[in-house]
Each structure stands twice: as structure tokens, then as C-alpha cells.
Amino acid sequence: MSTIIEVSHVYKAFGGLSVLDDCSIKVEEGSITGMIGPNGAGKTTLFNIIAGNLPLDSGRVRFNGEDITNMPANELFHKGLLRTFQIAHEFSNMTALENLMMVPPRQLGENLFHTWFKHTEVRQQENDVRQRALEVIDFIGLSHVRNELAGNLSGGQKKLLELGRTMMADARVVLLDEIAAGVNRTLLGDLVANIERLNRERGYTFLVIEHDMDMIARLCDPVIVLAQGHVMMEGTIEEVRNNPQVIEAYFGAPTE
């Protein structure tokens, strides 16, 4: 596998407090890579830097060999690099299906000129987008709530909807930020299964921040451990679980 995301010697501070200090990671194309660490380790800050939501102070970020350091999120979206959030960001007053239909960029109907003079083309594109959205909502198992306002969905259903939106954007890499948070075990199983299917059948690469270690164990190889703003170790979940430094970082005392 080739490296699709490379973070090199990144430093980020807030008000003089260092959050990331000489942090470097690599994510291999086609992998589901986990990222864990105690609270305050810098995981979300690193996610925000990779996704273009936060500028770094020094260091470099590359995506598929291209330098994307401090490139804004909207440009990264068009390159196929997307992120989800711990709290889902749905359009609450639109239906689940409409939320998916909003995603594809550069739709003809966004231009007033086209709606007046190219209404046939606009209608055809809308039909194509709708059909694709129907396929995606069936894939993620939300067909039964496709006409429900997204704001009325459960937390788990909203997380599934966010995953569906990445499919509407033809993502290459998806950054998943605590996707298990607030999700019941049944829907969490659906989420994990969909992530596995997207990785296996569509070649998605995932970088996953998660505190649910059972989910990390099922999904992720390798697992990167962050502590105090830098990488402590990288390995399989078993290597991570049995590493005394990792245990000390999480529980604050060395093993006997």
C-alpha cells in the first residue's frame, strides 16, 4: 500500500500552550487506521489540521503526495478528503434524503441562469442526484426514514447519514471523529458494518478517532497512540493494549 496522508513534524499551540509537538503520522491507502490517546492528547486538533479546519504553526501535511498544508476544507472536499464530527452536522429542517442530495458540488440548479434557461438539464441532473441519494440511503439502511426531517433522527441515524454524505461526495479518505459517541449498540453495529463495506467494496481509506476500544479492535489496523501531542507508538491493537507506556498514559501509573 502507498501512503495517502502524511503528517510531518507538525506543531500547534494555543495561547502558548503546545497541543501538538513534532507530531508525524502516515496513513496507508486502503487502510482503516485508528487513533487513540488520553483526553488532551491532541487527536481532534490533528484531525482539524488534516481536514483544513485549523491552520498549523509549523510542519507539513500531504495528501496523495500533494502538499495540502493549511489548504481550506472546501478545497480538500473536492479532492476527496472529508471528515465527520463527534456531533452530527445535519440540515435539521430538511429530510434525510434531501440532506444527501445537497452534497454533490456544482449542481446546475445552484445557478439562477441555469434554472431559467436550462431547466431540462437542471431537472435531469436533479433526477440523477436523487437516484444516487436513494441508492446511498438504501446502502446505509435508512430507507425507512428517508422522508423524515433529519433533525428528528436518532443520534445513531444521524451518524449513518453523515457517512452517507461522504458517499455522495466520492470520498477517498474519511476522517471519523468519535463516530460511536451517543450511538446505541444496534446502530453502532450498522455503522461499523458500513465502514467495513466502504473500505472493502469501494476502497475508502479511514482515519478513526475513537474511545470505544472494542470498535477500534474490530475495525482498525494499525492503531496510532497519541500522548502529549506526539506519537507514542503505532502497532496492532494487541500490541497497543499490552504496551506499558500506553497503559501508563491512560491510567496514570506504571504496571507492576
Cis bond before residue 105 (omega within 30° of 0): no
- Phi and psi angles of residue 205, each rounded to the nearest 5 degrees, phi first: -100, 135
Assess if residue 14 is contained within a domain.
yes
Assess if residue 159 is contained within a domain.
no
- Residue ranges making up the domain that contains 147: 94-152
Give the pLDDT confidence score for residue 83 in this predicted structure.
87
Angle 16-19-22 from CA coordinates, rounded to 5°? 105
Based on the fold, state whether residues 143 and 193 are members of the same structural domain: no
Give the pLDDT confidence score for residue 255 in this predicted structure.
43
178-225 pLDDT, tens digit per residue, is 888 878 888 888 889 999 999 999 899 999 998 888 899 999 999 999
Give the pLDDT confidence score for residue 175 in this predicted structure.
94
Based on the fold, state whether residues 82 and 98 are members of the same structural domain: no
Beta bridge partners of 221: 32
Based on the fold, state whether residues 77 and 10 are members of the same structural domain: yes
Q: Print pLDDT tens along the chain (256 aa).
A: 699 999 999 999 998 899 999 999 999 999 999 999 988 899 999 999 999 999 999 999 999 999 999 999 999 988 999 988 766 678 899 999 999 988 876 655 555 655 555 667 767 768 888 899 999 999 999 999 999 999 999 988 998 998 898 888 878 999 998 888 878 888 888 889 999 999 999 899 999 998 888 899 999 999 999 999 999 999 999 999 999 988 887 766 544 4
What are the CA-CA distances from residue 119 to residues 124, 131, 137, 236, 249 (Å)?
Answer: 8, 18, 26, 54, 60
Reported pTM: 0.85
Assess if residue 222 is contained within a domain.
yes
Based on the fold, state whether residues 68 and 115 are members of the same structural domain: no
Based on the fold, state whether residues 224 and 182 are members of the same structural domain: yes
Give the pLDDT confidence score for residue 95 in this predicted structure.
96
Assess if residue 201 is contained within a domain.
yes
